Amino acid sequence: MSEWTVSEADLRTALRVLTAALVVVVGGASVLILATPGGAPIARLLDGLFAWSTTQSMWYLTRAAGMVAYLLLWLSTCWGLAISGKTFDPAMPRGFTFDAHEYLSLLSLGFTALHGGVLLADRYLPFTLTQLLVPFAAPYRPVWVGFGVIGLYLSLLVTVTFYLRRWIGASAFRWIHLLSYLGFGAVVLHSWFAGTDTALAATRGIYIGSVLVVVFLTVHRVTAAMIGKVRPAGSV
């Protein structure tokens, strides 16, 4: 009788699928609660526990979720640059660094869904699902909110390629991943010009500092690649 075994690669694949499914379920449940009558009993329960329906609670929640989503996207971008530059190779297995990069991207999408989903229940400045999903259709600062929507779609496209890499090939995977620069840039513009916390010096410091880190890692990556191409064969 043969013994059934599970490889490490199979476990990683299963974990990816479960994580993606969790993000989809949580996002779908949020929309169900906030946008449809079927979620009214759960919404009332949350209101009783956390004052869910107050203007302040919605505002605090969407601000917090937006900032967490931004930091996770920034960390995922930096992590991807570090992977491409083989920064982690002396200390971490490639499989772990790739998986961590993927999970950071999924977490960022999850908090982005929360950031936008909460606005469906906001009583001060409510959004419709169409206004959230269609770029430049928002009632509040439509241009800068539109950049955020575009950044979301670009980040979603890049994240989906984690699961399509074996079919699209490594070259297409790398080219599509370059869109993460545009996605991050769009989110920076959205955060700076649409976010109400930009008036705070600490928030501006976070945005400026995070952009400078991405620029530094990009320059380091490009410089290292150029040095590698011109280095004579056999040199150390």
**CB of 191 closer than 8 Å to CB of 66:** yes
pLDDT bucket at 2, cuts 50 / 70 / 90: very low
What is the pLDDT, as a whole number, of residue 27? Answer: 66
Domain assignments of the chain as residue spans, ordered by start? 8-229
CA distance 97 to 83: 7
pLDDT bucket at 16, cuts 50 / 70 / 90: low
Mean pLDDT calculated for residue range 201-212: 96
C-alpha count within 13 angstroms, C-beta hemisphere, residue 93: 4
Mean pLDDT calculated for residue range 213-233: 78
**CB of 108 closer than 8 Å to CB of 76:** yes
**CB of 70 closer than 8 Å to CB of 116:** no
* pLDDT tops 60 at residue 71: yes
Q: Name the nearest CA neighbour of 98 among 216, 187, 16.
A: 16
CA distance 122 to 146: 19
CA distance 197 to 157: 28
Mean pLDDT calculated for residue range 80-109: 86
Alpha-carbon torsion, ordered 148, 32, 75, 141, to 10 deg: 20
* pLDDT tops 80 at residue 211: yes
* pLDDT tops 90 at residue 185: yes
| Backbone phi and psi for residue 118, each to the nearest 5 degrees, phi listed first | -60, -30
Question: Which of 33-47, 81-95, 120-134 comes out lowest in average pLDDT?
Answer: 33-47
CA distance 10 to 189: 39
Token pair listed for 137: 């259709």
- Per residue in 26-67, pLDDT tens? 666 666 666 666 667 766 776 666 555 666 777 888 889 999
pLDDT bucket at 108, cuts 50 / 70 / 90: very high
